[in-house]
Amino acid sequence: MPRKPKNNISGWINLNKPVGVTSNDAVNILKKALGYPKIGHAGTLDPLASGILPIALGEGTKLVPYMMDDDKTYLFTATWGEQRTTDDAEGEVIATSDVRPTEEQIKAILPEFIGTIDQIPPIYSAIKVDGQRSYDLARAGEIPELKPRPINIYELHLVETTADTATFRCICGKGTYVRSLARDLAEKLGTKAYISRLVRETVGPFSLENAISLDFFRETSDKTTLESNVLPVEAVLDDVPVVPLTEQEAMRVRNGNKITFIARPDVERLVKAGLSPKARMLELALLSHNGKALAIADVKGVEIQPVRVFNL
C-alpha cells in the first residue's frame, strides 16, 4: 500500500471551541480533518468553556510558548449562592449562602480586583504540587495546598446582573484562573459563587469575530477549503518587530548562529524595525528573508540570536 503524502502545512487556526468538547478532542478532530499534521493548542479550555482555542500546525507549534503568554479576554457568569469543588458547574456543592449582592455592591469592589493581585489557583487545576498535578491530588481525595501567585487583571467590568447571577468581562494576563476570580469576588461580597458560563473571547490577536467553528472541520472534506483557513506562522506575532535579512545573514540564522549588525545601514535596519541598537535588555524580533518568516530571535543591542528557526 502506498504511503500517504506528508502534510507539511504550517500556521495557525483560530478555532471557536464549543461547550462539551475537551481541548484535546478538538485537536484530534482537526488532525483527522487536515490529514494528521503536527498539531498542538495554546492554552487549554475546560469542556464547560467555549471560545478561542488557538491551534498551531507544523512549524507554528514552535510559537506555542509565546502565544500562551498573550493577554486574554473572558466573558463569564458567576452564579451566587453555592461554592463547588471545581469552582464551576461540574463540581459538587461544598458550601452555600443566601446572600445575593446588589449591582451597586458588585461595582464597588471591582477596583480591588484590577491591577497586579495575588490569586490562589483552583485545587482542580494543572498546577504541580510536589511533582503531582493538583487536580490528580484533588480527585484522590486530598486537598492540595496551593500558594498565591501574582496575576494581572487589566480590565474587569460588570456586564449584567439577575437575581442569582452576575456576568463580567475580564481582560487578563497569563496564569489567571477565572474560576478563582469568581470565587474571590464572592468571598469579598460575603457570599459564595461558581462559574456557570465561561467564554474566551480573545487570545492575543485572535478573536471570536473571525474564529472558525469546530463543526466546519467536522463537516468539510475538501482539503483545499480547510487549508485556506490556516493563518501564517507569523500571524501570532503581529506586534513583534520584523527584521529583514540578506541571503548571507539568513544562511547563518538557519544554522542557529548569532549575527551582529555593525555597519551603519544594518543598524538603520534595526531602527526601522522599531528596535534600539543601544538596548541593554533583550527584545523579541521576527527575522524574515524574501518576505518569509525565518526565525524568532532575541535581540540585544546589535546582536541577534535566533531561538526558534522555522523550516518553511
Q: Tell me the pLDDT tens digit for each residue of 46-91.
A: 899 999 999 999 999 999 988 888 999 999 999 999 999 889 998 8
Asked if 196 and 275 sit in the same domain, the reply is: no
4 found inside a domain: no
Instruction: Give the tens place of pLDDT for each residue, 101-127.
Output: 999 999 999 999 999 999 988 776 666
Query: What are the distances in angstroms from CA 242 to CA 128, 283, 301?
Result: 37, 12, 15
Read off the pLDDT of each residue in 248-271 and give the average, rounded to a whole number: 92
Q: How many domains does the chain have?
A: 3
Percent of the chain past pLDDT 70, that is, above it, reads: 91
Q: How many CB atoms are closer than 10 A to CB 239?
A: 10
Which residue type, as a one-letter code, is found at position 64? V
What contacts 88, CB < 8 A, 6 or more positions away?
Answer: 46, 48, 179, 194, 195, 196, 198
2 found inside a domain: no
**Confidence label for 138 from pLDDT (cuts 50, 70 and 90):** low
Among 188, 218, 236, the domain-final residue is 236
Asked if 199 and 80 sit in the same domain, the reply is: yes
| Grid coordinates belonging to 229 | 483557513
Asked if 63 and 36 sit in the same domain, the reply is: yes
Asked if 31 and 119 sit in the same domain, the reply is: no
80 found inside a domain: yes
Q: How far apart are CA 89 and CA 87, in angstroms?
A: 7
Residue pair 301/266 in contact (Cβ under 8 Å)? The answer is no
- The average confidence (pLDDT) of the chain is 90
**Confidence label for 140 from pLDDT (cuts 50, 70 and 90):** low
1 found inside a domain: no
Asked if 280 and 159 sit in the same domain, the reply is: no
Asked if 57 and 99 sit in the same domain, the reply is: no
Minimal CA–CA distance to 306: which of 281, 288, 280?
Answer: 288
| Grid coordinates belonging to 301 | 543591542
3 found inside a domain: no
User: Is the four-CA dihedral 201, 203, 209, 214 of positive or negative sign?
Assistant: negative
Among 182, 203, 224, the domain-final residue is 203
Count Cα neighbours of 205 within 13 Å in the Cβ-side half-sphere: 14
pLDDT at 4: 46
Asked if 177 and 276 sit in the same domain, the reply is: no
Asked if 30 and 128 sit in the same domain, the reply is: no
Q: Is 46 a catalytic residue?
A: yes
Q: How far apart are CA 199 and CA 244, in angstroms?
A: 38
Residue pair 39/15 in contact (Cβ under 8 Å)? The answer is no
Q: How far apart are CA 213 and CA 229, in angstroms?
A: 11
What contacts 294, CB < 8 A, 6 or more positions away?
Answer: 245, 250, 253, 254, 287, 288, 309, 310, 312
**Confidence label for 2 from pLDDT (cuts 50, 70 and 90):** very low
Q: Which of 25, 46, 118, 222 is catalytic?
A: 46
Asked if 79 and 199 sit in the same domain, the reply is: yes
Least confident of 165-169, 186-190, 238-242: 238-242
Per DSSP (E only), the strands in the chain are 11-17, 39-41, 49-57, 72-80, 82-84, 93-96, 115-119, 128-129, 132-133, 149-161, 165-172, 193-203, 206-207, 212-213, 242-244, 259-260, 283-289, 292-300, 303-309
44 found inside a domain: yes
Assign residue 280 the CATH number of its domain. Answer: 2.30.130.10
Give the predicted TM-score (pTM) of the model: 0.89
Q: β-pairing, 115-119 with 206-207?
A: unpaired
Minimal CA–CA distance to 276: which of 250, 257, 253, 303?
Answer: 303
Angle in degrees, CA 23, 27, 33, rounded to 5 = 145
pLDDT at 278: 84
**Confidence label for 190 from pLDDT (cuts 50, 70 and 90):** very high
Helix count (H) and strand count (E) of the chain? Answer: 9, 19
Assign residue 214 the CATH number of its domain. Answer: 3.30.2350.10
Asked if 150 and 268 sit in the same domain, the reply is: no
Asked if 112 and 36 sit in the same domain, the reply is: no
Q: How far apart are CA 18 and CA 122, in angstroms?
A: 22
82 found inside a domain: yes
Range of the domain at 158: 72-203
Asked if 125 and 181 sit in the same domain, the reply is: yes
192 found inside a domain: yes
Among 221, 236, 251, the domain-final residue is 236
**Which SS3 state, helix, strand or coil, does residue 84 take?**
strand
Q: How far apart are CA 302 and CA 266, in angstroms?
A: 9
